[in-house]
Chain A
Amino acid sequence: MSTLKNSTLLIADVEAFPKGVSLWQDGWTRLRKNRLAMLGFFFLALIMFLALITPWIAPYGYEEQNLRLGATPPSAAHWLGTDNFGRDMLTRILYGGRVSLMVGFIATAVALLIGVTYGAIAGYVGGRVDAVMMRLVDILYALPFMIFIILLMVVFGRNLLLLFLAIGAVEWLTMARIVRGQVQSLRQQEYIEAAISIGLGPGAIIRKHVLPNVLGPIIVYTTLTIPNVMLLEAFLSFLGLGIQPPESSWGVLISYGVESMEEYPWLLIFPGLALAMTLFALNFLGDGLRDALDPRTSKD
């Protein structure tokens, strides 16, 4: 009689315990609680949606000029004003967003892929291999990046894909360095040694143990890289190496705006705001993700 009673109690007790949660589920829950991060998330979603449907919602053509109109401040016909050629700024900012976001994400993805793989391997394996790999990074770092890009642009012609690759090919270096540094310090942790001792191969260890713990800095640095890439693209376009008119990106719009900043400030303010807010959103989201995914800052 007593045993049966005990069993019933046990089952009821078990159901009263909370269910186990994976790192990611826990992360998502915590992320949701972070107001700023969610704000950033939704803003980004909005921007990306707008970028996607731009061809359908833009009020004018982005290259449509109205020379006699020239630059005008915001009005009913042109919500965000017009530029020197009489082109509608709202349209140009929308289209510019498409380009900027594309460049930002794709180039960062390229950098991420190469950089993380490279850095993880170097940091994990250590020793000779690490030394050689990092020397390679140093060499590439020291290469005159401008010449490299100029050459690429000139030899292979100007196209967007090449721009992505060129920028990504430069950004991965820093990613690799940071990842390698993190992996290196993690490598010394006991649980890694434990994993090795139970026979896990390096690939599995990197995937299951190292990378998730390195993810925090990776995410932070990625959200830092995207804006960096977008600014890099702006700088290149500023020099005349990037996006060609009449196309434009936020970076180009900003550089045009700087030229006329005193006479026509709206040419700078609106693209600047667009870029800044997107970057804010990315950063808040990145921060939120980092806090959400770091098991050590978990509240329980």
Chain B
Amino acid sequence: MIFKCKSLKKLVLLFSLGLLAACGGAQESRVEQGNRDGVLHFGNGSEPQGLDPHIVTGVPEHHIIQALFEGLVVKNPHNLEVEAGVAESWEISDDGKIYTFQLRTDARWSNGDPVTAEDFRWSWQRALTPALGSLYNYMYSRIVNAEAFANGETTDFDQVGVRVLGEHTLQVELRDPTPYILQLFDHYSTFPVHRATVESFGDPSNRLTRWAREGNLVGNGAFQLTEWVVNSHIRVEKSPVYWDAEKIQLNAIVFYPTENLVTEERMFRDGQLHFTGDVPLDKVPVYLRDEPHLIEINPYLGTYYYMVNTTRPPFDDVRVRRALAMAVDRDLLVSTVLEGIVDPAYAIVPPGTLGYEPPRLFNYDPDAARALLAEAGYPGGEGFPAFNILYNTQESHRKIAEAVQQMWNKTLNVGVNLVNQEWQVYLDSQQNMNYDVSRRGWIGDYVDPNSFLDMFITGGGNNKTGFANARYDQIVLRDAPAALDREERYRLFHEAETILIDQMPIIPFYTYKSKHLRHPSLRGMPANIMDYFNYKYVYLQAEE
């Protein structure tokens, strides 16, 4: 078959040539090139929803917005202490309720316009406007009348405790002295936006305008947005007009959407990323063993827990909930499934949060758990209806849920099914209280126990367990904010958390640890409990 052989031969030849051409020999990796050019390659998790600081809510968005905008203050990445941002100094009144900020006069927007106090006032008004639908507007709730404005109870923004005293002087009035308020001003929901730019693209309350796009976006941060190819990469470059530009050592940062952890780890190994957003669990022991200098595991201000729907029998019985909590061997879970990296948790607030220690009310105690279950009317698990554990589709959640399912099955003899839903449906199920037991994780928005405790007020948007306790509400909403000193405040928090854990609408599992893979050439990004990055400190130093 001459005809067959000829074309077959040709094809094989072409194919091998193609492969050879592709091989190309050892090329310089992207990381090496980045080290030469001062470009940081950052694995950032999912593709950002957008870059408008008043609209977005996720961590990947946060990382990028942190480079493009700056708030009144910034944080020092080493100790998370508040440092001057746009505001170069501030005064606090004696009663702790009035903050007066002096903005620096050389702060500029990326188009050269000066940043003024009016910019902040206008931006905050925009963020609180109900029509915009900002999901983070509760960040402002400590400011006088901010909540009322956000709810539409008043349409007069002058009522809100924000005043422009001078071109570079901004005054903020709070309802109570709030010790963590300065940290909130480093949260992107309180960042300023450039009024002229936003308005030139349409109504400021319209989420759909294009002002936050490459080519349009004007920010006041250390970097400017130069490229944004959806699902491919986002590139930001050093801003020459930034007031502290000499301190910036990077020339550019490229953010990559890396949802698939396994692929991200391969990209890292392949020299395509300096830094990954996370590490697959299976790889953790491998790196710890073979290349411990490349992996970073650090305390992270967050708690992983299961919510229990207390409005659904048999979960309305506190004994059932306690039995479930006590039947989970957290130490075993942590040391095996979680590769020993995290710490078991028995409360909602991570231990040591700004010096606060949560109560410890229970232990792993299978006998006591069984006794409680029997007391509740289900001796030996008899008669207990099979129920679902809900989690969002992800390898690590599945692993934990499978282990817990087995524990409850073996210890309490109850039937458990696993239900996983993709993110949107999962959130909806929680919002609609359409679950039995659901996995949940909460990362603190600021370093203070309140960031965890205020979730569980009656009817709280993030409560969704049916937990409602008047004394708890009283402490969290009224007594604690009015406390005179930290000691009293923490005593009150301790009391509130004791109520919470005693009632067990949530079953805590462990305290988060952040995990990243980092190339040795990446410096100036120290680990901290909020996994917070301040790019001004970051630099690249190629290895010798």
A touches B (Cβ under 8 A): yes
| Chain A residues within CB distance 8 Å of chain B | 63, 65, 67-68, 70, 84-85, 150, 154, 158, 239-240, 244-246, 259-260, 262-264
Inter-chain contact A84/B337, CB cutoff 8 Å: yes
> Contact between A68 and B405 (Cβ–Cβ < 8 Å)?
no
**Which one of B13-21, B105-113, B392-400, B474-482 contacts A?**
B392-400
Given A84-B337, A240-B393, A240-B421, 18 more A-B residue pairs with CB atoms under 8 Å apart are A63-B409, A65-B406, A67-B332, A67-B333, A67-B336, A67-B403, A154-B421, A158-B419, A239-B393, A240-B398, A240-B420, A244-B420, A245-B402, A245-B418, A246-B405, A246-B406, A259-B282, A263-B282
- In the docked arrangement, what's the CA distance between A245 and B402, Å? 7
User: Given A67-B336, A245-B405, A245-B418, does the pair A259, B398 have CB atoms closer than 8 Å?
Assistant: no
Question: What separation, in Å, do the CA atoms of A154 and B393 have in the docked complex?
Answer: 14
- Residue B153, interface by CB 8 Å: no
Instruction: Tell whether, in the assembled complex, residue B336 and residue A70 are in contact, meaning their CB atoms are under 8 Å apart.
Output: yes
Select from chain A the residue with minimum beta-carbon distance to B283.
A263
A207 to B102, CA, bound (A): 90
Which residues of B have CB within 8 Å of A70? 336
- In the complex the two chains form, what is the Cα distance from A245 to B282 in whole Å? 19
User: Known interface pairs A67-B336, A240-B420. Does A154 touch B425 (Cβ–Cβ under 8 Å)?
Assistant: yes
Q: Look across to chain A and name the residue whose beta carbon is closest to the beta carbon of B329.
A: A67
Partner of A245, one of B262, B286, B401: B401
Among A68, A158, A240, which residue has the most Cβ atoms of chain B within 10 A?
Answer: A240
Q: Nearest B residue to A258 by beta-carbon distance? A: B262
A253 to chain B, nearest CB (A): 13
Query: Which one, A65, A84, A244, contacts B419 given CB within 8 A?
Result: A244
Output the least CB separation between B264 and chain A (Å). 13
Residues of A within 8 A of B402 (CB): 65, 85, 245-246
A101 to chain B, nearest CB (A): 23
* Bound form: Cα–Cα A259–B393 in Å: 14
B381 at the interface (CB under 8 A from A): no
Q: Nearest B residue to A68 by beta-carbon distance?
A: B336
Contacts of A158 in B (CB 8 A): 419
Q: How far is the CA of A64 from the CA of B420 in the complex (A)?
A: 21
By Cβ-Cβ distance, the 9 closest A-B pairs, closest first, are A240-B393, A67-B336, A240-B420, A65-B406, A245-B402, A260-B282, A245-B418, A244-B418, A263-B282
Considering only residues 407-421 of chain B, those with a C-beta below 8 Å from chain A are 409, 417-421
Contacts of A84 in B (CB 8 A): 282, 337, 399
A154 to B280, CA, bound (A): 28
Contact B282 A63 (CB under 8 A): no
Q: Which residues of B contact A246 (CB under 8 A)?
A: 402, 405-406, 418
21 A–B contact pairs at CB < 8 A? A63-B406, A65-B406, A67-B333, A67-B336, A84-B399, A85-B399, A85-B402, A85-B403, A158-B419, A240-B420, A240-B421, A244-B417, A245-B398, A245-B402, A246-B405, A246-B406, A259-B262, A259-B280, A260-B282, A263-B282, A264-B282
Cα(A262)–Cα(B399), bound, Å: 18
Least Cβ–Cβ distance between B265 and chain A, in angstroms: 10
Residues of the A chain whose Cβ atoms lie less than 8 Å from the Cβ of B401 = 245
B286: which A residues are within 8 A, CB to CB? 262-263
Q: How far is the CA of A69 from the CA of B402 in the complex (A)?
A: 15
Which residues in B have their C-beta under 8 angstroms from that of A85? 337, 399, 402-403, 406
Interface residues of B in 350-388 (CB under 8 A from A): none
- B422 in the interface, Cβ–Cβ < 8 Å? yes
Q: How far is the CB of A63 from chain B (nearest CB, A)?
A: 7
**Contact A259–B395 (Cβ < 8 Å):** yes
A222 to B386 CA separation, bound complex (whole angstroms): 38
Number of A-B contacts (CB under 8 A): 56
Q: Shortest CB–CB separation between residue A102 and chain B, in angstroms?
A: 19
Q: How far is the CA of A244 from the CA of B421 in the complex (A)?
A: 11
In the assembly, what is the distance between CA of A84 and CA of B421, in Å? Answer: 22
Complex Cα spacing A260 to B285, Å: 12
CA A262 – CA B283 in complex, angstroms? Answer: 9
Closest residue of chain A to B398 (Cβ to Cβ) is A245
A98 to B395: give the CA distance in the assembly, Å: 24
Whole-angstrom CA separation of A158 from B333 in the bound complex:
27
The docked-state distance in angstroms from the alpha carbon of A15 to that of B255 is: 86
Task: Please measure, in the bound complex, the distance between the C-alpha atom of A245 and the C-alpha atom of B336, giving whole angstroms.
Answer: 18
Given known A85-B402, A245-B398, A246-B402, contact A67–B425 (CB-CB < 8 A): no
* Chain A residues whose CB sits within 8 angstroms of the CB of B262 once the complex forms: 259
In the bound assembly, the distance between CA atoms of A158 and B418 in angstroms comes to 11
List, in ascending order, chain A residues with CB within 8 A of B419's CB.
158, 244
Chain A: minimal CB distance from B410 (Å): 8
Q: In whole angstroms, what is the CA distance A67 to B400 when docked? A: 11
Residue numbers in A under 8 Å from B422 (CB-CB):
150, 239-240
Give the residue name and chain of the A residue nearest to B393 (CB). A240
The answer to whether B393 and A67 touch across the interface, beta carbons within 8 angstroms, is no
Q: Which residues of B contact A67 (CB under 8 A)?
A: 332-333, 336-337, 403
A239 to B395, CA, bound (A): 10
A11 to chain B, nearest CB (A): 51
Within the complex, the shortest CB–CB distance from B444 to chain A, in Å, comes to 28
Within 8 A of A (CB), among B135-165: none
What residues of chain A lie closer than 8 Å to B393, measured between beta carbons?
239-240
> What's the Cα separation between A177 and B395 when bound, in Å?
38
Q: Flag if B398 contacts A65 (CB, 8 Å).
A: no
Residues from chain B with Cβ under 8 Å of A245 in the complex:
398, 401-402, 405, 418
Q: Which residues of chain B come closer than 8 Å to A150, judged between CB atoms?
A: 422
A239 to B417, CA, bound (A): 17
A239's nearest neighbour on chain B, judged by CB, is: B393
Q: How far is the CB of A64 from chain B (nearest CB, A)?
A: 8
Residues of A within 8 A of B333 (CB): 67
Collect the chain B residues with CB atoms within 8 Å of residue A63's CB.
406, 409
Of chain A, the residue at the smallest CB distance from B417 is: A244
- Report B254-294 CB contacts with A as 1/0, cut-off 8 Å: 00000000100000000000000000101100100000000
Q: Which residue of chain A has its CB nearest to the CB of B429?
A: A154
Q: How far is the CB of A258 from chain B (nearest CB, A)?
A: 8
Residue of A nearest to B409 (CB): A63
Give bound CA distance, A244 to B418, whole Å: 6
Q: Which residue of A lies closest to B422 (CB)?
A: A240
* A67 vs B282: C-alpha distance when bound (angstroms): 14
State the Cβ distance, B195 to closest chain A Cβ, in Å.
41
Whether B282 contacts A65 by the Cβ 8 Å rule is no
How far is the CB of A147 from the nearest CB of chain B, in Å?
A: 12
B418: A residues at CB distance < 8 A: 244-246
B388, closest chain A residue (CB) = A244
CA distance A260 to B284 in the complex (A): 12
Bound-complex Cα distance A70 to B339 (A): 10
- Give A255's nearest chain B residue, CB to CB: B395
Contacts of A262 in B (CB 8 A): 282, 286
Inter-chain CA distance A150–B393, complex, in Å, is 13
Partner of B403, one of A65, A240, A244, A260: A65
Please name all residues of chain B whose beta carbon is closer than 8 Å to the beta carbon of A154 when the two chains form the complex: 421, 425
Q: In the assembled complex, how far is the CB of residue B402 from the closest CB belonging to chain A, in whole angstroms?
A: 5
State in angstroms the CA–CA spacing of A246 and B403 once bound together: 10
